[in-house]
Structure 1
Amino acid sequence: MHLLKKYAKTMLFPSFVLIFILFYFLQQDSKDEPFESISTIPQQQSEQLNNENEEQPIVNIMVDVKGEVYFPGVYELTTEDRVIDAINLAGGYTEQAETKHVNHAQKLQDEMVIYIPKKGEELENQPIESIVMSGQVSNDTSDKININTADESQLTTLPGIGPSKAQAIIAYREENGSFKTIEDLTNVSGIGDKTFEKLKELIDIK
């Protein structure tokens, strides 16, 4: 019993030392383990990207091509087509076509009127837009020129009607009274059937 107490005291200190050493090495091992960081990838805003990349829908439209083309008329195209496409569809220009005011690259709009004037045709005092490409033309008669009441400045906005023809229209009214039909316009000097064809959708008598 005395020996047990004696050796217990002598073994106690080495035991503490051994435990301390083991604890030290265990701590070192834990520090050496690589730290794995977790990175997250933010979720993409897929709906927003889809909306940004969404293209405008292509819509079928009707365009009226008038004047110096081989086959004047109303043609069906799309909003992706341009003026040159409408002209080509109408057979292209005649030899008498005046094309210097035509913007061939302009995109088409529904109800657009593309009017191609003849070389030497009176174009003075007329906005280029009303000669070549009158935007959207409404069927409402309120948008038309009343040839019974229009003054010279209003008449000259019509394709093919310059100051001299406008004065001739006014003079006809003063001498013969109001136009009874729009076809009576062909009775005015200098206004024939071809000119009337360009005007009939743009004029009214009431």
Structure 2
Amino acid sequence: MDKYIEWLKEYKWQLSVPAVALLLIGSFVLFRPAAQSQDQTGLTDFPQTEQTSTSQEDLAASSTEEASQLVVDVKGAVKEPGLYSLEAGSRVNDAIEAAGGLTDEADPKSINLAQKLTDEAVVYVARVEEQVSIIGSREGDSAGSMQGEKNTKVNLNTATEADLQTISGIGAKRAADIIAYREANGGFKTVDDLSNVSGIGDKTMESLRPYVTVD
């Protein structure tokens, strides 16, 4: 035993070198999987980047599709008034056909069937009784906004809720209130009676006056 101890003391430096080498090799083997795991984690970022790029392409395609469509509000003497989605470049005639065509009460002279439409436009078809003159498009008009809307006054005693809503400043509730007043009081005697409707003050009355009549 003494000889073994003496031998260890004599060759301790020679033995320490292989021990250190073994320790280094063991450390390398131990930590290498962690490094590989980090590399693999980094690689997973590439599919995510590709996915983000694909999402951006989808959004671009969606925007292009929206730009190729327009939505118009068709009102008045058509069979099926409402909102319609049409191809960009469509004309008033396309909107009328989408709404089921003109009714028997419609005045064809009140609209320009060849006029191009824009998104959010209103197409209003007047009735024969409204006596609208022939309408032609003019430069500067909003496409699809019928010139007849500006020139034709709405009769407070015969107008429907849809007719009343073609006037700027009259929404669904106010149109319903106007009709309710008309039915309760036997009609409007003068345009000034409109100020008796709930919610219509002097300022609103003056803004509506050019667009309404009782004749």
Same fold (TM over 0.5): no
Higher helix share goes to which structure? 2
Q: Which structure's CA Rg is the greater one?
A: 1
What is the TM-score of this pair, normalised by structure 1?
Answer: 0.39
What is the TM-score of this pair, normalised by structure 2?
Answer: 0.37
